[in-house]
């Protein structure tokens, strides 16, 4: 690989790291070509970008953006590394988890994840990452919680109004 090609890869990676707040670093070393192709298709179907690059180029791209911000990610840059970029912080974890279930294995291994400024190191975090809530899910829960008391008040008012209407109808029938 020439120096110009390396610089081109570094620039591409810098662009991806700047574009996405969420990315996963995985080890795809023991996967067959067919399995990697299947993983790439799963990523494509879920709008997750998967890139494979040399660890030194990934490190240089991260250091060029913000060396301190990504300091915890450097130790995960070893062996074969595949990067998964996504707007949704939980989607790559879901892809990795379902891929493992389908292949009845423990590969690909999650080396680290960078989620909105937080670093999760190690494969033991995969289950927790599949359960994190997205921004839209959290907003939906808050809206649901805010609507719940209002719905109860409206239901109580309607129920009270219906009782008054029934009582008025009963009185009218008794008067006749």
Q: What is the pLDDT of residue 145?
A: 76
More confident residue, 127 or 136: 127
CATH topology of domain 3-132: Alpha-Beta Plaits (3.30.70)
pTM, entire model:
0.74
Task: Break the chain into its structural domains and give their ranges.
Answer: 3-132, 134-175
Q: What whole-number distance in Å separates Cα of residue 4 and Cα of residue 155?
A: 68
Query: Could you write out the DSSP letters of every residue in 60-91?
Result: HHHHHHHTTTTGGGGGG--SSEEEEEESSTTH
pLDDT at 155 exceeding the cut of 80: no
pLDDT tens track for 81-107 = 999 999 988 899 999 999 988 888 788
Residue-wise pLDDT for 55-76, tens only, equals 999 999 999 998 888 888 999 9
User: What is the per-residue pLDDT for 30?
Assistant: 83
């Amino acid at each position: 690989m020439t120096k110009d090609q390396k610089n081109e890869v570094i620039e591409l990676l810098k662009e991806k790291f700047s574009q996405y707040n969420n990315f996963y670093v995985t080890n795809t070393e023991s996967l067959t070509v067919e399995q990697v192709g299947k993983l790439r298709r799963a990523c494509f179907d879920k709008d997750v970008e998967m890139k494979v690059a040399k660890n030194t180029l990934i490190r240089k791209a991260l250091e060029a953006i913000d060396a301190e911000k990504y300091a915890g990610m450097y130790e995960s840059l070893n062996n074969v590394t595949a990067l998964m970029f996504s707007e949704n912080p939980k989607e790559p974890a879901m892809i990795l988890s379902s891929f493992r279930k389908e292949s009845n294995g423990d590969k690909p291994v999650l080396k680290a994840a960078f989620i909105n400024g937080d670093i999760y190191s190690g494969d033991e975090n995969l289950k927790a990452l599949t359960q994190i809530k997205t921004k839209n899910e959290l907003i939906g829960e808050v809206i649901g919680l805010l609507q719940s008391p209002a719905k109860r008040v409206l239901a109580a008012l309607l129920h009270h109004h219906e009782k008054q209407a029934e009582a008025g109808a009963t009185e009218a029938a008794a008067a006749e």
